[in-house]
Structure formats: C-alpha cells, structure tokens
Amino acid sequence: MLTRRQEILDVALALADEGGLDAVTMRAIGKRLGVTAMALYPYVASKDDLLDGLVGRLLQEIALPEAAWPWEKRLRAIAHAVRGTARMHPAVMPLLFTRPAITPDALRVLDAIYAALLDAGVPPKEVPRVERMISTVVLGFAASEVSGRFSIGSLMPRERRAQLPDAELPAHAALAAALDTPVDWDGEFDTDLDDLVAFISALAHRGC
C-alpha cells in the first residue's frame, strides 16, 4: 500500500540525492508529482514535518540482520547497513543529528541493537547507554565520512602547517609520517567495529 505521504518522501529523498538538501523544495516535490506545492499540505504538515519524514524514510532503508546470527555479526551488519545508506544519501545524514527519529522504523533498528547487546551479555542497566555510544560512533563515522568532516585528516601536513606556524602544531609535526599515509576508510570502519565489539565483550564479562 503506497500512501501519498510515502510518494512525497520518496521524491524528497530522490531530490536530496540529486541536488542536496537545498533542492528539497515543496514546489520541486510538487512539480515531480505533477501537482502544485500546496497540494502536499494535507499529507505533510510543514517543511519541518517533511524533513522529519525524510529522516524516517532514511531509517526505513536500513535492512535488519537475521535474528539467528550471533550478536557480533548482527551488530556489524547493522553498522555496515548504516554506512551503506549514508553513502547512498549523503545529503540527508546530517539531519540525523538535527531531530529525533521516533518512527516505527527507527524503533525497529533500535530494538535490534538492544537485542544484540542483551545477547552479548551486557547488563540490562547498561544497555541503553551502550546503545547510545555505539550508535553515535557508527552514525558519526558514516556522517563524517560523507560530509567531509574527516577530510581534514587527509589533507597533506604541508597544507595544514601552512595555516599556522610550525611551533603551534607540534603534534602534527611529530605525526608527519602517519598523516602522510592515505587512509583506508573501509579498513578503519572495520577496525572501529572490532574495537566496539571488544568493548562490548569486556562490559559483558565485567557484569558477570
């Protein structure tokens, strides 16, 4: 069953993918649906409501892993799904840090992470905090990667030092070699996930 709201959000996502968030306009959405901008208002309360819906639409895209898999594999699968949708829809990612996502789909993902942490043996009292932390890492990594926040790390040390006198960036100087080697983002993401899994395991054992 394809509701009119769904159609609108699909078009909004497509416009965001093609031309960034600025291209998501009531008028542009209407035009693509063959309708005026005001015809959208019965299904979308305001532009803000539209963007809320867009975040929900994004979460809808991330597929959940098989419940039978071990918790580690499930967690890694969710993380990779998040990074995948971030790469498909980079313009929408920053909105995740702008408004809370409380759609059914958001809760579905949240519940899957809770379940994985419980299966890992994390004490129930700690689960909500740990979920917030690992979600922040995964969402933050995915958003930073596509937004260019991490690109500061891939600038050549030479360019960076040009901005400030050498003496003011001593650690950059000490790290020149490390900063010169190009970053393997796929590898870094997996390494981060390894560390998160190890962290979760440690929490579980501490709790026993």
One character per residue 119-138, x = contact with a copy of itself (rule: CB under 8 A): -----xx-xxx-xxx--xx-
Task: Give the nearest distance from C-beta 138 to a copy of itself in angstroms.
Answer: 9
> Any alpha helices (H) in 62-184, and if so which ranges?
71-88, 104-120, 127-147, 157-161, 170-174, 176-180
Stretch that binds DNA, among 23-31, 55-63, 77-85, 172-180 (CB under 7 A): 23-31
> Cα separation of 27 and 39, whole Å?
10
Q: Is residue 24 a contact point for DNA (CB under 7 A)?
A: yes
Look up residue 95 and give its two tokens: 């909105």
Cβ atoms within 10 Å of 150's Cβ, excluding its own = 15
Residue 87 touches which of a copy of itself, DNA, none (Cβ within 5-8 Å per kind): none
Q: Closest approach of Cβ 31 to DNA, in Å? A: 9
Site for a copy of itself in 139-158 (CB under 8 A): 139-141, 143-144, 147-153, 155
Q: How many CA atoms lie within 13 A of 184 on its CB side?
A: 6
- Tell me how far apart the alpha carbons of residues 91 and 40 are, in angstroms, rounded to a whole number: 22
How near is the Cβ of 20 to DNA at its closest, in Å? 12
* Number of other CB atoms surrounding residue 127 within 10 Å: 18
The entry of DNA, a copy of itself, none that residue 194 binds, CB within 5 to 8 Å by partner kind: none
Counting Cα atoms < 13 Å in the Cβ hemisphere of 99 gives: 14
Shortest distance (Å) from residue 52 CB to DNA: 12
φ/ψ of residue 184, rounded to 5 = -95, 95
Site string for DNA, 28-57 (x = CB under 7 A): x-x---xxxxxx-xx---xxx---------
Tell me how far the alpha carbon of residue 61 is from its chain's centroid. Answer: 12
Amino acid in position 129? R
Q: Which residues bind DNA (CB under 7 A)?
A: 4, 24-28, 30, 34-39, 41-42, 46-48
Q: Which residues bind a copy of itself (CB under 8 A)?
A: 93-104, 106-108, 110-112, 114-115, 118, 124-125, 127-129, 131-133, 136-137, 139-141, 143-144, 147-153, 155, 160, 163-164, 168-172, 174-175, 177-179, 183, 188, 191-192, 195, 199
